[in-house]
C-alpha cells in the first residue's frame, strides 16, 4: 500500500507500507493491503505503520481523517510528529505540547486584552452619544 500523511503545509510521509494501525472513535483498527476501501475519523493518538522491509514506525497525530482507496491510504491531520520508537515519540510529544501550551497561554492573554480593550471602546462610544 502507498501511505501518504498530509499536513496543512506539507506531505509528512509518502511511503510503501504493509500495514497501518490507527485509532478512531470506536477503537483501534488495522489496514492490510487487501482491506476493503475505508474511511475513518481519527482521534488524537498513536498511529503506526510497518514498511515493506518489516520496520515499524510511529506517529503521534492530532485528530484527522483516514481514507483507504484501493492501494492508497491517505491521512490528513492538522499536526503529527514522528518517532522510531514510542519512548522517543513520548519525549517529542511532551516537548511539543509544552511549547503548544505556552503559545496557547500567550494567545489567550492577547485575546483577553483585545476583548477588554474592545469593551472599553464600546463603553466610551455609548457614553458619548447620550
Q: What whole-number distance in Å separates Cα of residue 12 and Cα of residue 102?
A: 24
Residues 49 and 113 occupy one common structural domain: no
Q: Tens digits of per-residue pLDDT, 27-46?
A: 999 999 999 999 999 988 88
pLDDT tens for 72-101 read 999 999 888 887 778 777 777 767 756 665
What does the alpha-carbon distance between residue 51 and residue 59 come to, in Å, rounded to a whole number? Answer: 13
pLDDT at 87: 78
Residues 80 and 104 in one domain: no
* Distance separating alpha carbons of residues 122 and 130, to the nearest angstrom: 13
Mean pLDDT of the chain: 85
Domain count, the chain: 2
Tell me: do 58 and 118 sit in the same domain: no
Q: Does the pLDDT of residue 102 top 80, yes or no?
A: no
Amino acid at each position: 500500500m502507498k501511505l501518504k500523511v498530509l499536513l496543512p503545509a506539507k506531505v509528512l510521509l509518502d511511503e510503501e507500507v504493509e500495514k497501518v494501525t490507527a485509532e478512531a472513535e470506536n477503537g483501534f483498527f488495522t489496514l492490510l493491503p487487501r482491506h476493503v476501501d475505508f474511511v475513518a475519523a481519527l482521534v488524537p493518538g498513536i498511529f503506526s505503520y510497518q514498511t515493506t522491509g518489516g520496520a515499524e514506525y510511529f506517529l503521534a497525530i492530532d485528530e484527522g481523517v483516514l481514507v483507504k482507496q484501493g492501494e492508497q491510504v491517505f491521512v490528513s491531520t492538522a499536526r503529527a510528529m514522528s518517532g522510531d520508537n514510542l519512548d522517543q515519540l513520548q519525549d517529542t510529544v511532551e516537548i511539543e505540547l509544552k511549547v503548544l501550551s505556552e503559545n496557547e497561554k500567550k494567545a489567550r492573554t492577547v485575546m483577553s486584552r483585545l476583548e477588554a480593550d474592545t469593551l472599553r471602546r464600546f463603553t466610551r462610544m455609548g457614553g458619548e452619544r447620550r
